[in-house]
Amino acid sequence: MSDMTCKLLIIGAGPGGYVCGIRAGQLGIDTIIVDEQKPGGTCLNVGCIPSKALIHAAEEFHKLSHFNGSSPLGITAASPQIDLSATVDWKNGIVTRLNAGVAGLLKKSGVRLIAGKATFQDGKTVKVTTGDTSVQIRAEQVVIATGSAPVELPFLPFGDTVISSSEALSLRSVPERLCVVGGGYIGLEIGTAFAKLGAKVTVVEAAERILPQYDSALTRPVLKSLQALGIEVMLSTKAKGLGDKGLKVETAEGSEREIAADKVLVTVGRRPRSDSANIASLGLATDGPFLRIDDRCRTSMQGVFAIGDVTGEPMLAHRAMAQGEMVAEIIAGHKRSWDKRCIPAVCFTDPEIVTCGLSPDEAKAQGGAVTTGQFPFAANGRAMTMEAEDGFVRVVARKEDGLILGLQAVGRGVSELSAAFSIAIEMGARIDDIGAVIHAHPTQSEGLQEACLAALGHALHI
């Protein structure tokens, strides 16, 4: 076994780890990053990017399928076909390009990327095994960025019929009947895509609402659209196991039912990979299954940091990246701590949901008086020209001075409003600031200005 040394060792080259590596390299820190998979982590290989590629392909196919003579736009097209295998090859091509892109960025920053499985020997020593060879790396500082993995239900083990999101994103043909267990982010994003590709989709959700982390005003347009796509949404329903024809469930009324399915996609959350790399041997403090960190991403062991999904919610790529960048700067001696006012979240359903900062209920729970303003896309010219009138933009502000505490929207393509939302909150904007900014016409972002004007009591277009 050979030996290597470095100042900083990062375990995991997902969005958290690789951004930490790039920034560390830029700051002149001698850095090694280790991953057993291709660089990019869950996000690039089996998460954000592959799912958005599938969602895009499904949307294009669905659009064409509906130009069947009934479109008010006057477009008619012959019945389209999809070769999902070709779609998956296209998606894999994007992933491969991005894998090479991440490796190139690390190289450009002078970071050494090692392919292999890391195992802690002690808090500063890690053994990395690749096939039959292994190397021992000693570092002054270590960052754990091992990410997360799909939760497996004990009564629905992953196999041929029961699949996780990773397999769903690489299916070579559209299943005739797909049953999705879990109506959260992943289940609804992928379930919607397969319904658009022609599968008969059923969503089984244990809670009484889909996307239970969002308020019902935001999820209502999504539920309406799922139903319009022919997706059966079974709420307050528990999965029980595989039957002869598909998935056995206990319905809201307490009766047993079997839902016919060729594939059962289980998306009931993700678990941190805090059991990976012999992390347990370090005896780090935990918060439930997650590694406990402070406002500088320090764990309970000196010189050992943790970032990304392994440290808890929200398990989002951009949170992991922001933590990675911050930790690299801390290791370089900069005075940094986690000072973000908000982490935007986007659910890429149809329509999309974007949230940033506090919801009305969360703001009220903080005690102070709150004002809200809402603008419907039904009154937005651009939304009408895109046949995207469902949804709205909502602002939540402190009553006293109009400081924006939260922004939410649901609607077609609203993911692109997330930057404006985050900037407004990070910069400490007030509703009168945004109300006074000229927003280009005709755009959906006029909804943001109008929501702020509505909160001030003088919206112009409703």
Question: How far is Cα 117 from Cα 128, in angstroms, rounded to an integer?
Answer: 5
| Residue number, 397 or 417, with CB nearest to ligand NAD | 417
Whole-angstrom distance, CA of residue 284 vs CA of residue 390: 47
Restricted to residues 237-276, the positions that interact with ligand FAD (CB under 6 A) are: 273, 276
184 touches ligand NAD (CB under 6 A): yes
What is the DSSP secondary structure assignment for residue 76, as one 8-state letter? B
185 binds ligand NAD per the rule CB under 6 A: yes
CB 207 within 8 A of CB 235: yes
Q: Which two tokens stand for residue 193?
A: 């895509």
According to the binding rule CB under 6 A, does residue 13 interact with ligand FAD? yes
Residues 285-324 that bind ligand NAD (CB under 6 A): 314-316
Contact between 238 and ligand NAD (CB under 6 A)?
Answer: yes
Interatomic CA distance for residues 141 and 369, integer angstroms: 45
Q: Does 181 contact ligand FAD by CB under 6 A?
A: no
Q: Does 190 bind ligand NAD (CB under 6 A)?
A: no
381 counts as binding ligand NAD under rule CB under 6 A: no
Tokens 């982010």 locate to: 185
- Residue 206 interaction partner, one of ligand FAD, ligand NAD, none, beta carbon < 5-8 Å per kind: ligand NAD
Name the H helices within 27-83.
41-46, 48-65
CA 16 – CA 378 distance, rounded (Å) = 39
Min separation Cβ 349 and ligand NAD, Å? 9
Q: Would you say 120 or 375 has its CB closer to ligand FAD?
A: 120
Q: What is the DSSP string of 201-268?
A: EEEE-SSSSSSTTS-HHHHHHHHHHHHHTT-EEE-S-EEEEE-SSEEEEE-TTS-EEEEE-SEEEE-S
Which residue has the closest beta carbon to ligand NAD? 184
From the list ligand NAD, ligand FAD, none, partner contacted by residue 269 (C-beta under 5 to 8 A by kind) = ligand NAD
Q: Is 204 in the site for ligand NAD (CB under 6 A)?
A: yes
Q: Which of 21, 25, 41, 391 is close enough to bind ligand FAD by CB under 6 A?
A: 41
Q: Which 344-363 positions form the footprint of ligand NAD (CB under 6 A)?
A: 345-348
Q: What is the dihedral of CA 365, 367, 369, 370, to 10 degrees?
A: -30
Regarding 54 and contact with ligand FAD (CB under 6 A), the answer is no
Helix (H, G, I), strand (E, B) or coil at 321: helix
Per-position x/- string for 60-99, each x denoting binding to ligand NAD as judged by CB under 6 A, each - no binding: ----------------------------------------
Per-residue binding letters, 317-336, with ligand FAD (x by CB under 6 A): xx-x----------------
Peptide bond just before 314 cis, omega within 30 deg: yes
Q: Considering only residues 267, 276, 311, 422, which one is a binding residue for ligand NAD as defined by CB under 6 A?
A: 267
Secondary structure class of 298 (helix, strand, coil): strand
Residue closer to ligand NAD by CB (options 17, 184) is 184
Catalytic residues: 441
Counting DSSP H helices and E strands in the chain, the numbers are 13, 24
Q: Assign residue 114 a region (left: φ > 0; alpha: ψ between -120 and 50; beta: otherwise).
A: beta
Q: Tell me if 389 sits within 8 A of 377, measured CB to CB.
A: yes
Residues at the contact surface with ligand FAD, assessed by CB under 6 A = 11-17, 34-37, 41-43, 47-48, 51, 117-118, 145-148, 165, 186, 273, 276-277, 308-309, 315-318, 320, 348
Residues at the contact surface with ligand NAD, assessed by CB under 6 A = 153, 181-187, 189, 204-207, 212, 238-239, 267-270, 314-316, 345-348
